[in-house]
Structure 1
Amino acid sequence: MRILNILLVFLISGISMANNLDPVKVFNEANAFYEQKNYESAIEKYESIIDKNYEAEAVYFNLGNAYYQLRQVAPSIYNYKKVLQLNPENKAAKTNLKFADKMKLDEFDKKVQLNSNQILHNTIGFFNMNEWAVIAVVSTFLILLSFVIFYFNQNSTVKKVFFTLQIVLIFVAIISVVSAFSEQNYANSERFAIVFDEEVALKVEPRTSAKNAQIIHEGTEVFIEEETTKWFKVILPNQVTGWIQKEAIKEI
């Protein structure tokens, strides 16, 4: 698998530029280790960048590739998912994720039907929040332009055309604004995680002595429904619900 070797734009969250770590330098060192097939050292370098709260899809992408080369299922899937969280349109990450998914032991016949928020996302999710916002802005501009033409033009046929166009554009603008806010709400409220333990029992209650609901394996993605101090209540892709200890999974 190829790695991304680009000039990074890092998003810095609450850290000082006085930090001793130079993310671009470390990133290039990690890439060099990767090219030498020294994947363990490459992983260590990529992880050191992330540990300092520098976020860039290229780091997660290359880290996912390094883990994939070592056939480590959960971390490779997790990092490709992180790429898609930052950029849902990253085609390389989508492709590599499909390869990583093939290493999973668990297979599920159907996807989770979570809630109305999830159903709405599945309906309007072909555009992300930013794309819906752009559509709303463009629609608003076209509404104003159509109104100007409608107002100043004396031809009755032209007036009818642009009046109808305004109605359509107003509808598009409203749908776009609602969809943008809906996608923002979805991104803020929906919590997914990847199972990192090689094998773990999903419990019917949040205690180790409880009956098993199902045995699942590393790489499986779960939806987090609620949590206690030490446990997450999760939903599997086959809609089985149960409790899993927090240290067994890693939230995306």
Structure 2
Amino acid sequence: MKYIIYILLFALPSVSFAQDKSQWEKKFDNANSLYIKENYAKAIEIYHELIQEKDNSPEVFFNLANAYYKLNNNTDAIYYYEKALKLAPDTQAFLTNLNYARKNLEDDITIVKEYDQQDIIHQSLGILTVNQWATLSTLAAFLVLICFICYYLTTKSNVKKLSFTCLILFLFLSLVTAYSAYFEDHYKSDAYSGIIFDKVLELKSEARHTSDTIRELHEGTRVHVLEEKSLWIKVQLDNQEEGWIEKKSIKVI
């Protein structure tokens, strides 16, 4: 899949040499052509249609973000760069453009990384997706069954011993991979982030309008949701500062 390279370079999308393209791919090419012709509004419209059909393409989110940036819509640009990065973490082109767009933010928030135990575990288990861990667990469970059948049917002591050893090993592997799939699934569903779309809002000390204001926040700022309470959410900023804002003020990444 191709995507439009860095904003700063204004490079053309890479050329696809596939002979038989799907309707979705042709539509994607059309949107990219409109982008190159600087018809950003129409390109945005088609990118959104593509996302409605298939919302797992980081390239579409990235190109959509670039189009919004070209129209000086910094908040939507940041939002869709984040969406692209969620699907393809650590992609340098996505990170470069996101960091460039963030320079235009009104809120100057220094990113401070703090890791708890779950974050540390995720750093190790995140090398595979939930589906990949689940597939490994299923495969290991199947091998457990094979080893058990061999152990039960064979009469040779050396084969019996080898089958039993392999059974224990694959059983252990099945349990570990099943836990990994479970952990990653819950880690990703429990923790989520969002982008502020209100022009300006107040970060409150409690989940009510009359509570003390910690600071003002502006559109485009990223927040990490820690807790929900009715119409309010407790959020953490990238500098680890915490407070409450109204749930309607953000779009979830």
1:154 and 2:151 aligned: no
Q: Which amino acid aligns with 1:94?
A: T
Q: What secondary structure, in the 3-state scheme, does the structure 2 residue paired with 1:170 have?
A: helix
Corresponding position: 1:107 with 2:104: no
> Does the 8 Å contact 2:62/2:94 carry over to 1?
no
Partner of 2:252: 251
Match of 2:55, as an amino acid?
E
Contact 2:75 2:219 in 1 (8 A): yes
Per the TM alignment, residue 38 of structure 1 is displaced from its structure 2 partner at its CA by 2.6
- 1:95 maps to a residue whose letter is Q
Matched AA of 2:99: K
Give the structure-2-normalised TM-score: 0.71
Distance 1:166-1:81 versus aligned 2 partners, 3 A rule:
farther
The CA deviation at 1:25 is: 6.6
Question: Partners of 1:138 and 1:126 in 2: how far apart?
Answer: 18
Change (3 A) 1:41 1:227: farther
AA partner of residue 131 (structure 2): N
Counterpart Cα distance in 2 of 1:69 and 1:172: 50
Partners of 1:110 and 1:149 in 2: how far apart? 50
1:140-219 residue pairs with structure 2 within 5 A? 140-151=141-152, 152=154, 154=156, 156=158, 158-197=159-198, 200-208=201-209, 210-219=211-220
Q: 1:1-252, aligned counterparts within 5 Å?
A: 1-2=4-5, 3=13, 27-50=28-51, 55-57=55-57, 58-70=59-71, 72-85=73-86, 87=87, 90=88, 94-103=91-100, 104=102, 105-111=108-114, 113=116, 120-151=121-152, 152=154, 154=156, 156=158, 158-197=159-198, 200-208=201-209, 210-224=211-225, 225-229=227-231, 231-252=232-253
- 1:108-139: CA deviation from partner (whole Å, max 9, x where unpaired): 222464xx765654452222210111110111
Contact preservation (8 Å) 1:234, 1:244: yes
Question: TM-score, normalized by length of structure 1?
Answer: 0.72
Which range moved further: 125-134 or 208-217? 208-217
1:144 and 1:45 mapped to 2: Cα distance?
A: 50
Query: Cα offset for 1:194?
Result: 1.6
Match of 2:105 in 1: none
Task: Confirm or deny: 8 A CA contact 2:110 2:239 kept in the other structure.
Answer: no
User: Cα RMSD (Å) of the superposition?
Assistant: 3.4
> Offset at 1:54?
5.2
Q: Hey, what's the Cα distance between the residues in 1 that align with 2:111 and 2:151? A: 55
Rate the CA distance shift 1:112–1:154 in 2: closer, same or farther, 3 A: closer
**What's the secondary structure of 2:91's corresponding residue?**
helix
Whole-angstrom CA distance in 2 between matches of 1:102 and 1:180:
31
Q: CA deviation at 1:216?
A: 4.2
Instruction: Please tell me the residue identity of whatever aligns with 1:63.
Output: L
Offset, 1:43: 1.6
Deviations 1:88-113 (Å, cap 9, x if unpaired)?
A: xx36x732331133232422222464
Q: Percent identity?
A: 33
Change (3 A) 1:153 1:125: farther
C-alpha spacing 1:166/1:249, structure 2 compared with 1 (3 Å): same
- Paired residue type of 2:111: F
Q: In the alignment, residue 178 of structure 2 is paired with which amino acid? A: V
Amino acid aligned to 2:252: E
CA contact (8 A) 2:112 2:240 kept: no
